[in-house]
Structure 1
Amino acid sequence: MNATPAEQQELLRLQSVDTRLAQLAHRLGSLPQAAPLAELATRDDALRRSRAEAVGSLEDVRTELSRLESDVSLVEARIARDSERLTHTSSVKDVTALEAELASLARRRSDLEDQELAVMEKVDEAEGAVAALDAEREGLVTERSRLEAERDESAAGLATERDQAERDRSTIAETIPADLLAFYEVRRVRGGGIGAALLRQRTCGGCTITLTGSDLEAVRKASAFDVVQCPECDRILVRTDESGI
């Protein structure tokens, strides 16, 4: 492939911009807020699971409390009914039976009320656990919002730099022949982001291998219009007065 020395040197400008774009992409993907935000997301997931479990426990004890309250209401209704019957009966047998049942119902109500108090304590504890998790999540959300604002501010500045670099790249790419640009792009993909490198003092700027022997001789004999490649890394070698050949 042939290209003028000026066109080949434009590849170095293009490579510089491409390197800058790669650096900006890396910085955008590894902003200092990324790691703590990821940690907060992990903590938030754990808190969500803990809260779901805590809410489940709270619902269970509330259900138990409702059942006990219903049982107490039934017992009280029976006490009221039997008390009413007691006041309207003159049968000794009925009075004895009703008094025995009322005593049994009173004990039952006392037991239920004791259970009710114990379960109410469980409800308070469960509500406290949910409230504590909610407070922790609220603090986490506040911290996440702060970090996201910092991240977005940093990302906005980097995005502005990236947009300018992309415009610069387009401007430079327009000055390079299509076949040379395509050849460079293939080398850049294969070369891990570096498609063209300056040959300085017989050393490839891409892989830092110094040319010697037949490799160096082949480059020396090549025309200034020949697009030469590094025999080691296959990248385009751009020759200038600094090449030392």
Structure 2
Amino acid sequence: MKAEPAVQRRLLDLADVDTELTRLAHRRTSLPEHAELTAAEAAVRTAKDAVVEAETNAGDLDRDIRRIERDVEGVRTRTARDNQLLAGSGIGARQATELQHELETLARRQSVLEDEQLEIMEQREALEAHLGHARATLDAAEKEVAVILERRDTALLDIDAGETGRRRARDEVVATLPDDLLALYERLRSRNGTGAALLLARRCQACRLDVDRTAISALKAAAPDAVVHCEECGVILVRTAESGL
């Protein structure tokens, strides 16, 4: 294949653009915000689980408190009724004894219930503090996610802008290249990651290896418009005054 030296040199411009596009694509997938976001979202899930667990436990304790309040109210109602009966006229000694015994039982029951109620209310108070901490932790975790998302989106917008500019520059270079030379470049780039490189001081700038003497002799003998390749990596070698030939 043949192409004018000036045309071949435009392959270096294309290779530079493609290198920048590759760098931008790598940056897009390797932004530190991606890992930070994964960790922050995991922290949000953990915080939500803690809030749900605390709210569930608080709900259980609230139900226990309401149950005990109903039981205490029932004991008080029963106690008031028995005291009313005991204070009434026409009650026999046996019934009075039974009522007195029941009042003592009710008093003990009320004491037990009130102790249980106090204990549960103390647990509920402590749990309320824990729930408040869990909600504050969740709020902070959600805010951290929002901050990381904003930072990530800003970085992605910057990458988008860079890619748009580089693609525009690529289109401009591609428009000046012959179809057969461009096809060769693209084929080599898909295989090697690089389609063309400068031969600088007898070294291929793609694989960074020095060209041996035999190959140098062949390159010297090749016509200026001949499209030549690196024997090591296969890319198109672009020869200039800096090639050392």
Q: TM-score if structure 1 supplies the norm length? A: 0.86
Q: Mapping of 1:118-157 within 5 angstroms? A: 118-157=119-158
Identity of aligned residues (%): 37
Q: Mapping of 1:4-153 within 5 angstroms? A: 4-31=4-31, 33-88=33-88, 90-153=91-154
Indicate yes or no: 2:240 matched with 1:240: yes
Considering only aligned residues, what root-mean-square deviation do their CA atoms show, in Å? 2.4
Residue 61 of structure 2 contacts residue 124 of structure 2 at CA under 8 Å; is this kept in 1? yes
Q: CA 1:106–1:8 in structure 2 vs 1: closer, same or farther (change >3 Å)?
A: same
Residue 47 of structure 2 contacts residue 141 of structure 2 at CA under 8 Å; is this kept in 1? no
Which blocks of at least 5 consecutive residues in structure 1 are unaligned?
A: none
Equivalence for 2:215: 215
Which blocks of at least 5 consecutive residues in structure 2 are unaligned?
A: none
Hey, what's the Cα distance between the residues in 2 that align with 1:125 and 1:106? 29
Equivalence for 1:168: 169
Offset, 1:208: 1.0
**Secondary structure at the counterpart of residue 185 of structure 2:** helix
Cα displacement string for residues 142-166 of structure 1 (whole angstroms, at most 9, x for unaligned residues)? 3333343333334323322221111
Hey, what's the Cα distance between the residues in 1 that align with 2:130 and 2:2? 75
Hey, what's the Cα distance between the residues in 1 that align with 2:82 and 2:199? 108
- Matched residue pairs, number? 244
Offset, 1:230: 1.2
Cα displacement string for residues 106-129 of structure 1 (whole angstroms, at most 9, x for unaligned residues)? 110111111111101111111211
Residue 199 of structure 2 contacts residue 240 of structure 2 at CA under 8 Å; is this kept in 1? yes
Residue 137 of structure 1 aligns with an amino acid whose one-letter code is L
Residue 157 of structure 2 aligns with an amino acid whose one-letter code is A
**Secondary structure at the counterpart of residue 237 of structure 1:** strand
**Secondary structure at the counterpart of residue 226 of structure 1:** coil
Cα displacement string for residues 48-107 of structure 1 (whole angstroms, at most 9, x for unaligned residues)? 233233233323322332332232233233324433443455122222111211211111
